[in-house]
Structure 1
Amino acid sequence: MKKPAVMTTAAGVPIADNQNSLTAGPRGPVLMADYQLMEKMAHFNRERVPERVVHAKGAGAYGTFTVTKDITRYTCAKLFEKIGKQTEVFVRFSTVAGELGSADTVRDPRGFAVKFYTEEGNWDMTGNNTPVFFIRDPLKFSDFIHSQKRDPATGRRSATMQWDFWSLSPESLHQVTWLFGDRGIPASYRHMNGYSSHTFSLWNAKGERFWVKWHFKTQQGIRCFTEEEATRLAGENPDFHRQDLWDAIERGDCPKWTVYVQVMPEKEAETYYLNPFDLTKVWPHKDYPLQEVGVLELNRNPQNYFAEVEQAAFEPANLPPGMGASPDKMLQARLLSYPDAHRYRIGVNYAALPVNKPRCPVHTYHRDGHMRFDGNDGGAPNYQPNSFGGPVDDARYKEPPLKISGDADRYDHRAGNDDYTQAGNLYRLMSREERERLIGNIVAAMTGVPRAIQLRQIVHFFRADPEYGTGVASGLGIRMAEVPGIKAA
């Protein structure tokens, strides 16, 4: 084989490590000094015009969030300050990999993004319908999405590309097991859960920080389509999920979700046996049980799809006082990547569009830019500090300091990481019928993939659970004696 060329930046500088982001210590956070990561994300966000690169097709609706339980011991955020308080929301559901014209019922994770219009600014909860994701290091995000999109040679989706990436990325196994199980194809947006997936933080009036994961549990119950039902609907009604959500709200059958939070005291993260900031892992409920927070209801359809659903822009960095991010490497990158994508896709003044505009006063020194459509703050000063009464920063809203340690380096995120136990636990939680459907879905998706990739992926399934790996191998007509590395597993 021809020796591969050395990978470089766009400026031709050789790249030493394309697998691990630059972080402060092995658990992060990601450093802005990682110009390589920034270049990859910025270039990736500009690969399509004007459609979203991911989450292109979706549906949305307005509603309310109502507080039902007191969590003020964890946070001073005003939207949670009293039971019964209501906050207006806008929710956008979406498929992840499909383009704008794709069918709603494909096997794909679903986006579950909620914009809370709070009195102290917008809170954007940018989640999915799964509690984990395929990767834990943002340097691999564009590579992952490329593998799920279209083959540059044929212009078609490629099972070989997908399974090649997954088989070379064992951290993806947990999410792959979710994806090919029953919940990989929700029956509707109303019949699926939502999760923050990432670890975020809350902080209270005393300056105490807590790490949290958000859960949105559907009150309609979980319902899913089989592969056969989904395929039929893709042909009969590619917009089935859009129609279902719209029709339900129009007839007054307003969908609801109960909102919960898992809470981990800041200090416990240092000694917890799992990395609590690893996006490929869940926190066991026996250690950190769900605590009810409120109810989310959708009760009003948008009046114009483009203006409200297509131009809706969500940012995980939109966190009102009392809420914060975490050292989750993927989240750290999304804090930058999401607004960067919006500035490119719908313009630098995207936050002033009606669907994105906060319901509280906005005071910034942002001026001008493409498609500025308001008064541009007239003759008010456009710099700070100034002597003319312009808005000023206020230390009362400062987030508690975050202690970090470790040398800045590109740490191997796979070294010493258990990527199999939780995937195996998920498999073992399934009923016999669910396991059979999972294996059948995987076998169908892997049929025709080069044998070397099949063998490599079967090793991962087997390490999660021997029955899991043996079942996939049998379905593909592969004897376990052919699979390398099993004896050593």
Structure 2
Amino acid sequence: MSMSKNLTGANGAPIADNQNSRTAGPRGPVLLDDFNLVEKLAHFNRENIPERRVHAKGAAAHGTFTVTKDISKYSFAKLFDTIGKQTPVFLRFSTVGGERGSADTARDPRGFALKFYTEEGNWDIVGNNTPVFFIRDSIKFPDFIHTQKRDPKSNLKDANMMWDFWSHSPEALHQVTILFSDRGIPDGFRFMHGYGSHTYSLINKDGVRTWVKWHYRTQQGIKNLDPAKAGELAGSNPDYATEDLFNAIERKEFPRWNVYIQVMTEEQARTYKENPFDVTKVWSQKEFPLHEVGYFELNRNPENYFAEVEQAAFAPSNVVPGTGLSPDKMLQGRVFAYADAQRYRVGTNYQLLPINAPKCPYANHQRDGAMRLDSNGGGSLNYDPNSNTDSPKQTNQREPLFPSDLSGAAGQYDHRTDEDYYSQPAALYKLMNKEQKELLISNLAASMQGVKEDILQRALAHFVKIDPEYGQSLAAKVGIKIKA
């Protein structure tokens, strides 16, 4: 392969901007004609077989979601239409960066992927145990994950890769501060909160859309692992969290999470001081308090890990009437990438597998493909429109993807024009007590061991801007002096 000094696509054409996806205006949705974005995400999804490229190590369980409060003013989704109504759910927890055989106790965000088997189809919310993420734009996702994986030459994890990327990507500082705090290593999966992380939407019967953030508060209380204990468990019991979840359910100690939403009107979003679709930032709970929705309980273990957990396929493109997405650039990229990853990893008919199939009646014109497990539509027509009155027809009801007004010239808008990388991690740092701050500094310093000084200087300059005490304490712990 002839190497070019210029970054190019697979076809050799030069790429002018590899930092920003094409959107309709600075806050508008991502455009499908961004061939660089599509090529990066599609290629990234096919880099590894057979395990998931991310979230490879996971555990899951079945359960039920129960409505406790009326939110009909926000959504006409049928799963919310009656207080006390229950909907089957499947929840998969995971670590993000490690392989299938990696330790459950790694310092890593925990995936928190929920599948609701509603009477109108499957609804998936893919989130984490943190309310924010490292990047704002899905065009950077393959780059970021590469830094969390292995060096292509040594096949070893390399802290230089990780900190080099973060030092060039200050929007990651909020998530980094959470990751290296006392909550960076949860004590199993039961003792941590979960979040939808992204901004989603709900639509009511009058067609009014509301932007929402999903929060899941554990009823078991928060428990975290000391880094030394986590390291010990990584060697003695790398399946610690998987074992804990499975055994708790077998003992009928069914874990529960209370479900809440933050809500923001479209008018509030248009005038809000920050981009409400930026997944590197949270919404103020003082301005947008939590509203109770219900709770879910995990009460049944899978009968077969491969059939139910490994083949489970989540995708935020699975929405139902009364729910929707948002212009969040990370979420919009995932709408494509997750479903595409499942088609590659499990197969084009992945949604026919029992763990992924809807529990309500369904019909479409998809035919053939590897591992077609049903009658393949029999002798029914496989096109639309058609003249057969028995053939499935469109409902002509309001679409789950609520229509939006798009404005702005198509282009690649620099997401770093918002340079407020520091105020939210600063607020988080100030909330910590002395012991939490000391642990945070210790954890960060440990992760920086062996990192080149020029990368450290660039990274530490950001931490000083978050809070002088934060940056200087970290520099002292690392053992270098920050250059002026």
What's the TM-score, normalizing by structure 2? 0.98
**Amino acid aligned to 1:287:** E
Output aligned runs, 1:36-435, within 5 Å: 36-389=36-389, 390-399=391-400, 400-435=402-437
Q: How far 1:6 sits from its partner (Å)?
A: 0.5
- The aligned length equals 480
Q: How far 1:295 sits from its partner (Å)?
A: 0.7
Q: How far 1:404 sits from its partner (Å)?
A: 2.3
**Which 4+ runs in 1 deviate beyond 4 A?**
none
CA distance, structure 1, for counterparts of residue 426 and residue 473 of structure 2: 13
Q: The residue matched to 2:93 in structure 1 has which SS?
A: strand
Q: How far 1:248 sits from its partner (Å)?
A: 0.1
CA distance, structure 1, for counterparts of residue 348 and residue 431 of structure 2: 46
CA distance, structure 2, for counterparts of residue 245 and residue 264 of structure 1: 34
Q: Deviations over 1:292-333 (max 9, x none)?
A: 000110000000000000000001011100000000001111
Q: How far 1:226 sits from its partner (Å)?
A: 1.0
**Amino acid aligned to 2:28:** G
Q: Deviations over 1:374-400 (max 9, x none)?
A: 101100000000011211112223254
CA distance, structure 2, for counterparts of residue 286 and residue 394 of structure 1: 41
Q: Deviations over 1:51-101 (max 9, x none)?
A: 100000000000000000110000000000010000000110000000000
What's the TM-score, normalizing by structure 1? 0.97
**What is the aligned counterpart of 2:466 among 429, 443, 464?**
464
Q: How far 1:417 sits from its partner (Å)?
A: 2.8
CA distance, structure 2, for counterparts of residue 276 and residue 416 of structure 1: 12
**Amino acid aligned to 1:391:** P
CA distance, structure 2, for counterparts of residue 416 and residue 275 of structure 1: 9
Identity %: 60
Q: How far 1:259 sits from its partner (Å)?
A: 0.3
Unpaired segments ≥5 residues, structure 2: none
CA distance, structure 2, for counterparts of residue 338 and residue 445 of structure 1: 30
Q: How far 1:156 sits from its partner (Å)?
A: 0.5
CA distance, structure 2, for counterparts of residue 239 and residue 441 of structure 1: 22
**Amino acid aligned to 1:361:** P
**What is the aligned counterpart of 1:441 among 440, 443, 463?**
443
Residue in structure 2 matched with residue 487 of structure 1 by the alignment: none
CA distance, structure 1, for counterparts of residue 253 and residue 327 of structure 2: 40
Unpaired segments ≥5 residues, structure 1: 485-489
Q: How far 1:173 sits from its partner (Å)?
A: 0.3
CA distance, structure 2, for counterparts of residue 317 and residue 401 of structure 1: 15
Q: How far 1:4 sits from its partner (Å)?
A: 7.0
CA distance, structure 2, for counterparts of residue 398 and residue 309 of structure 1: 30
Q: The residue matched to 2:103 in structure 1 has which SS?
A: coil
**Amino acid aligned to 1:66:** T
CA distance, structure 2, for counterparts of residue 46 and residue 469 of structure 1: 39
CA distance, structure 2, for counterparts of residue 403 and residue 425 of structure 1: 34
Q: The residue matched to 1:299 in structure 2 has which SS?
A: strand
Q: The residue matched to 1:213 in structure 2 has which SS?
A: strand
**Amino acid aligned to 2:403:** P
